[in-house]
Amino acid sequence: MVANHDIDITVRRGTVHALMGENGAGKSTLMKILYGMQKPDEGTIAVNGKQVQLNTPADAIALGIGMVHQHFMLADYLTVWENIVLGGEKLHGIGARAKAKIQELSDQYGLGVRPDAMVEDLGVADRQRVEILKVLYRGATTLILDEPTAVLVPQEVDALFGNLRELKAEGVTVIFISHKLHEVLAVADAISVIRRGTTVGDADPKTVTARQLAELMVGAELPSPGSRESTVTDTEMLRVDGLRIAKTDAEGIERVVLDDISLRIRKGEILGIAGVEGNGQAELVEAIMGMLPLDGGAVVLDGVDLTRQLTRARREAGIGYIPEDRHRHGLLLEAPLWENRVLGHVTEPPNSKGVLLDPAGARKDTQRIVEEYDVRTPGIEVTAASLSGGNQQKLIIGREMSHKPKLLVAAHPTRGVDVGAQAQIWEQIRGAQREGLAVLLISADLDELIGLSDTIRVIYRGRLVADADPATVTAEDLGTAMTGAARGHIESEPEAVAEDRALAADGRQTGDAPDASAGSADAQAETTDTADDDQAGE
């Protein structure tokens, strides 16, 4: 199987160069080649005009190339600073000087990373920040960022893009891999698109549209989670009452991670949970799945109390599970695809006959999932590790939806998948919803959360603090509530009120009284100028 063929890309120094393509297009393979993790069979690589051989990541690091992988390369049982220093002990030592440098970089780029924190206690977003910090610590001048915004809220994405522009101004080069077309258009200076392992074109972000990029990538229009007729019934499917979980950190201090969480999901309803990573979403999911012990509360599915049941019993009772981290909780990476199809459903047909495993039935159904969900693979006997991240996700979703669950706990179901696969996943969820599926949806993609959900609730520091109507709320409203700045029901301000508020704030900043009249063309022109200035897988 050829992953890359006749790839031709030129990246200019001091630019943000976006690389786009559908799942399995060869983006990750190309980046591994550029980072010295994989050797090309033919072709050449030049850095600063000089042809180079990249046999190992050490060769790439020596040339100033650093990579933040989509799936993180961290040791759970080490601290943040130990992970960052590991392999780079000669740079800044291994003691106080190294910690001080890490803290300095964290503060400089607004990453908010605590050097002494244990990695195993960090959420996905914090782990990503550690990876970015690890690359910066090694003095990289070319950064390869694989899906860096997948777990960020709009305000955090804006902050990251500000950091990238600062790095670019200092001569740092960024290769930016993303499936989020509007983000690429906002931050990139140039765009290259690859399809089926071959470059199919370059695009200028100043002139190309998201729809044109989507068509160039997958030959289809840009999908949208959109709105649809309500399928919500009056029948309660999931009831969670007063969940409480406390954890003890490395310093022996007890920290409440879930505090009196109560919610209801009815048949045919999608309840979306919005929150900045690390505010209790992961613990909520694991509590419902029986993966964490409770300090209080109850979990009831379709009238059956599952509070004291193990994860296997909850799965058999009808809970499907799309995990936040597919490598840690969703797949056996070194096992073939058909064995991964069995995970979580070993006692259910077609994986078993009575008490015995049925490999033939599992293989046959794995082939069906591969075809139905367009999992790009040479066969079902290859390992899960050989698939791109997006294809791994499609395999998991196909596995979970195949058992017609009563409740689907979906944590970031389209993270790392291309626009074509997104549309397919959304339609699979909608189709099951029409048949009565209840869904608990956790997503960092606020457009997805708003488009799919019937109800949205905001989690902050382990508590549900606000709710919103997806028909009226905006991503910006949710982003604000996720920082703890809003309580109760979130209502979007009318456009005129929002404009008056913005003008008043502008007046306070300049020391002038705001002009309440309609003729504020000068203020609008100033705002436009400022916006123009700000715009510079796998």
Question: Which residue has tokens 């969900």?
Answer: 373
Q: What's the confidence (pLDDT) of residue 530?
A: 35
Does residue 15 contact residue 189 with C-beta atoms inside 8 Å? yes
CA-derived radius of gyration, the chain? 24
Can the peptide bond before residue 336 be classed as cis, meaning omega within 30 degrees of 0?
no
The one-digit pLDDT tens for each residue of the chain (538 residues) are: 455 667 889 999 999 999 988 766 778 788 889 999 888 878 889 998 899 999 998 899 889 999 987 677 888 889 999 999 988 777 777 778 889 999 988 887 767 888 999 998 887 668 878 888 888 888 888 999 987 876 666 666 787 788 788 778 878 899 998 877 888 999 999 999 988 778 888 999 999 988 888 888 876 655 667 656 788 999 999 999 999 999 887 677 888 999 999 999 999 999 999 998 789 999 999 999 999 999 999 999 999 999 999 999 999 999 999 998 898 899 999 999 999 999 999 989 999 988 899 999 999 999 999 999 889 899 999 999 998 878 899 999 999 999 999 999 999 998 777 777 788 888 889 989 999 999 999 998 888 899 999 999 999 999 999 999 999 998 888 888 888 877 778 876 544 434 443 444 344 333 333 333 333 333 333 333 333 333 333 3
Distance CA 188, CA 145 (A): 12
Distance CA 273, CA 283 (A): 12
Q: What's the confidence (pLDDT) of residue 315?
A: 95
Q: What's the confidence (pLDDT) of residue 470?
A: 92
Q: What's the confidence (pLDDT) of residue 403?
A: 92
- CATH architecture of the region 227-318+405-492: 3-Layer(aba) Sandwich (3.40)
Distance CA 521, CA 532 (A): 16
CA angle, residues 449, 450, 452, in degrees to nearest 5: 70
Q: What's the confidence (pLDDT) of residue 421?
A: 77
Does residue 125 contact residue 443 with C-beta atoms inside 8 Å? no
Which three-class secondary structure state does DSSP give residue 105?
helix
Distance CA 244, CA 296 (A): 5
Inter-CA distances, 6 with 23, 34, 41, Å: 18, 15, 11
DSSP class of 514 = P
Both tokens assigned to 112:
């908010």
Q: What's the confidence (pLDDT) of residue 94?
A: 78
Q: What's the confidence (pLDDT) of residue 314?
A: 96
- CATH architecture of the region 16-218: 3-Layer(aba) Sandwich (3.40)
Q: What's the confidence (pLDDT) of residue 185?
A: 92
Q: What's the confidence (pLDDT) of residue 32?
A: 86
Residues found in the chain = 538
Both tokens assigned to 358:
């049925």
Which three-class secondary structure state does DSSP give residue 388?
coil
Distance CA 321, CA 408 (A): 6
Q: Taking phi first (over 0 means left), then psi (-120 to 50 degrees means alpha), and beta for anything else, what does residue 8 get?
A: beta
Both tokens assigned to 118:
């244990």
Q: What's the confidence (pLDDT) of residue 252?
A: 77
The full DSSP string for 275-296 is --TTSSHHHHHHHHTT-S--SE
Does residue 438 contact residue 267 with C-beta atoms inside 8 Å? yes
What DSSP element (H or E) covers 365? helix 359-372
Q: Torsions phi, psi of 6, nearest 5?
A: 55, 50
Q: Torsions phi, psi of 201, nearest 5?
A: 160, 165
Does residue 154 contact residue 475 with C-beta atoms inside 8 Å? yes
Does residue 306 contact residue 313 with C-beta atoms inside 8 Å? yes
- pTM of whole model > 0.75? no
